[in-house]
């Protein structure tokens, strides 16, 4: 599914209508959220009739004069309107097998009126708390001073409206989806007093991160509007899988076979100087640790769930069959579950790089969310060459990186000869 969020700044002009529709069609969008159409209700009928019959439409003419928001979605999508107000419309349904809410926003220019939007969204959040939720559009407020092009002049200055916006994001636990494209999404296009801000954003909750780990967001050029077009893919083709680098997980060290595995590899005799011996021992140890991980720690969350289910079944059995109770076995399973839970928490703590948390703060759901968020932020989806050409496949990006750093660092100089280690030792 592809969702578009766009403040089009009026589409009464038939030529502008065609340009906007042509651009949206080119991206094969499934849900279109338009802000500030500036078309009156009677004029909207003509525009809607120009669309094919494959689309549903929702608007908020009954909530505000002129209708500030339109949402169009393909009829093959299992979506329906959940809530409406003068500044938001929310759809709810099933997307890629997950119960999902989609909210389009057009925030008021006035801070006092925007408070009604925050209140409205909190009521929506109460319903969608356990479902995936994406909130996108023109909020008409920035979240931090750095999101305005005059930051270098104005400095760090948080207005009351900005603080209210941040408090709203914290209360609802919404976060900006990592995105490709410019930081600023709107500009006044005035040469003498140019100003650009991030007024448009696409927010998601933690459940979205878990349900849609391959989602992707990009802000495109403004085109016929003064706002960028925001696009959200619920799943965008990933790069081809490549061998993963070896990682040492701290949870291994608590296993009873860890030390014996290391000792067995370490005691084998190696030839060479101390550095060579260390390298060969580490190389020999790596596949042994991979086997240990595969045997005892692969799919750690699945192991925890399975062990917990086994314990619960055994507890019910012991209560239902008193004469055949197996309390000693229950204690063993309980201890195994605790070990697995500790290993799972340590695994996700390391993956999420949240080492500052105390043991009592461990929360696997929080770690899952943090891991998925970090994964999105650290994944390179597109590389642009110095000539402005974009590469999005693994092989193309790898080749471009090699070319770039070869040009930066240079290649081997045939006039420079190597030096043996023996000569370097003599210098010491």
Catalogue all structural domains in the chain, each as residue range(s) with its CATH number.
Answer: 2-233 (3.60.10.10), 250-378 (no CATH), 383-427 (no CATH)
> Tokens 């931090």 correspond to what residue?
144
Closest CA to 304 of 262, 251, 237: 251
pLDDT of residue 345: 81
pLDDT of residue 121: 97
pLDDT of residue 225: 93
Query: Considering Cα of 401, then 403, then 406, then 407, what sign does the dihedral take?
Result: negative
pLDDT of residue 208: 93
Got the DSSP string for 22-68? HHHHHTT-SEEEEE-----HHHHHHHHHTS-TTEEEEE-TTTSTT--
pLDDT tens digits for the chain (428 residues)? 999 999 998 888 888 888 998 899 899 999 999 998 888 777 777 777 767 678 999 999 888 877 789 999 999 999 999 999 999 999 999 999 999 999 999 999 999 999 999 999 999 999 998 999 999 999 999 999 999 998 887 777 889 999 999 999 999 999 999 898 999 999 998 888 899 999 999 999 989 988 998 899 999 999 999 999 999 999 886 554 566 778 888 888 888 899 999 999 898 888 888 888 898 899 999 999 999 988 888 888 889 889 999 999 999 988 988 888 888 999 999 998 988 888 888 887 777 665 444 444 455 555 666 666 666 666 777 788 888 788 877 788 888 888 888 888 877 777 777 777 677 666 65
User: What does the buried/exposed string (b/e) look like for 84-118 if buried means 16 or more CB atoms within 10 Å of the residue's CB?
Assistant: bbbbbbbbbbebeeebbbbbbbbbbeebeebeebb
216: its two tokens: 């992707």
- Bridge partner list, 310: none
> Tokens 């949240």 correspond to what residue?
354
Report in angstroms the alpha-carbon separations of 269 from 48, 283, 288. 79, 13, 17
Question: Beta-carbon neighbour count of residue 141 at 10 Å?
Answer: 23
The answer for residues whose C-beta is within 8 angstroms of residue 73's C-beta and 6 or more apart is 30, 31, 32, 55, 56, 79, 91
Closest CA to 18 of 258, 306, 224: 224
- As a whole number of angstroms, the distance between CA 359 and CA 356 comes to 10
pLDDT of residue 359: 45
The answer for residues whose C-beta is within 8 angstroms of residue 102's C-beta and 6 or more apart is 3, 31, 33, 71, 79, 90, 91, 92, 95, 133, 134
3-class DSSP state for residue 278?
helix
3-class DSSP state for residue 359?
helix
pLDDT of residue 342: 85
Closest CA to 67 of 92, 53, 93, 48: 48
Closest CA to 178 of 201, 151, 194, 207: 201
Report, in this order, helix, strand and coil percent for the chain, each rounded to 5: 45, 20, 35
- As a whole number of angstroms, the distance between CA 349 and CA 409 comes to 37
Report in angstroms the alpha-carbon separations of 136 from 6, 99, 200. 9, 17, 7
pLDDT of residue 367: 60
Rounded to two decimals, the pTM is 0.68
- Is residue 340 a contact partner of residue 307, using CB atoms and an 8 Å limit? yes
- Is residue 1 a contact partner of residue 95, using CB atoms and an 8 Å limit? yes
């Amino acid at each position: 599914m592809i969702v578009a969020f766009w403040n089009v700044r009026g589409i009464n002009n038939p030529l502008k209508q065609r340009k906007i529709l042509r651009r949206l069609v080119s991206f094969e969008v499934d849900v279109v959220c338009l802000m500030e159409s500036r078309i009156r209700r009677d004029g909207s009928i003509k525009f809607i009739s120009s669309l094919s019959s494959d689309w549903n439409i929702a608007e908020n003419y009954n909530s505000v004069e002129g209708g500030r928001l339109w949402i169009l979605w393909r009829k093959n999508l299992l979506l329906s309107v959940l809530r409406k107000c003068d500044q938001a419309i929310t759809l709810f349904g099933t997307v890629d097998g997950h119960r999902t809410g989609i909210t389009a926003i057009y925030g008021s220019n006035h801070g006092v009126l925007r408070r009604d939007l925050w209140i409205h969204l909190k009521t929506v959040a109460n319903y969608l708390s356990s479902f995936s939720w994406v909130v996108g559009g023109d909020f008409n407020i920035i979240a931090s001073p750095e999101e305005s092009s005059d930051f270098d002049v104005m400095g760090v200055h948080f207005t009351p409206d900005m603080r209210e916006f941040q408090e709203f994001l914290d209360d609802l636990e919404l976060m900006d989806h990592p995105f490709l494209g410019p930081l600023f999404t709107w500009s006044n296009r005035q040469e003498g007093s140019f100003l650009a801000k991030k007024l448009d954003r696409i927010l998601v909750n933690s459940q979205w991160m878990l349900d849609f780990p391959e989602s992707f967001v990009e802000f495109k050029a403004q085109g016929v509007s003064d706002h960028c077009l925001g696009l959200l893919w619920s799943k965008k083709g990933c790069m081809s899988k490549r061998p993963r680098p070896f990682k040492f997980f701290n949870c291994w060290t608590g296993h009873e076979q860890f030390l014996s595995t290391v000792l067995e590899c370490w005691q084998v005799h190696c030839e060479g100087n101390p550095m060579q011996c260390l390298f060969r021992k580490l190389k020999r140890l790596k596949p042994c640790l991979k086997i240990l991980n595969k045997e005892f720690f692969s799919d750690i969350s699945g192991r925890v769930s399975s062990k917990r289910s086994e314990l619960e079944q055994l507890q019910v059995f012991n209560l239902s069959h008193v004469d055949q109770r197996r309390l000693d076995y229950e204690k063993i399973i309980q201890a195994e579950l605790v070990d697995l839970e500790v290993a799972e928490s340590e695994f996700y703590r390391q993956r999420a790089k949240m080492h500052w948390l105390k043991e009592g703060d461990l929360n696997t759901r929080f770690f899952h969310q943090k891991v998925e968020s970090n994964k999105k932020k650290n994944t390179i989806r597109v590389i642009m060459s110095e000539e402005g050409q974009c590469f999005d496949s693994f092989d193309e990006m790898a080749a471009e990186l090699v070319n770039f750093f070869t040009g930066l660092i240079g290649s081997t100089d045939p006039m420079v000869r190597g030096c043996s280690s023996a000569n370097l030792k003599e210098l010491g």
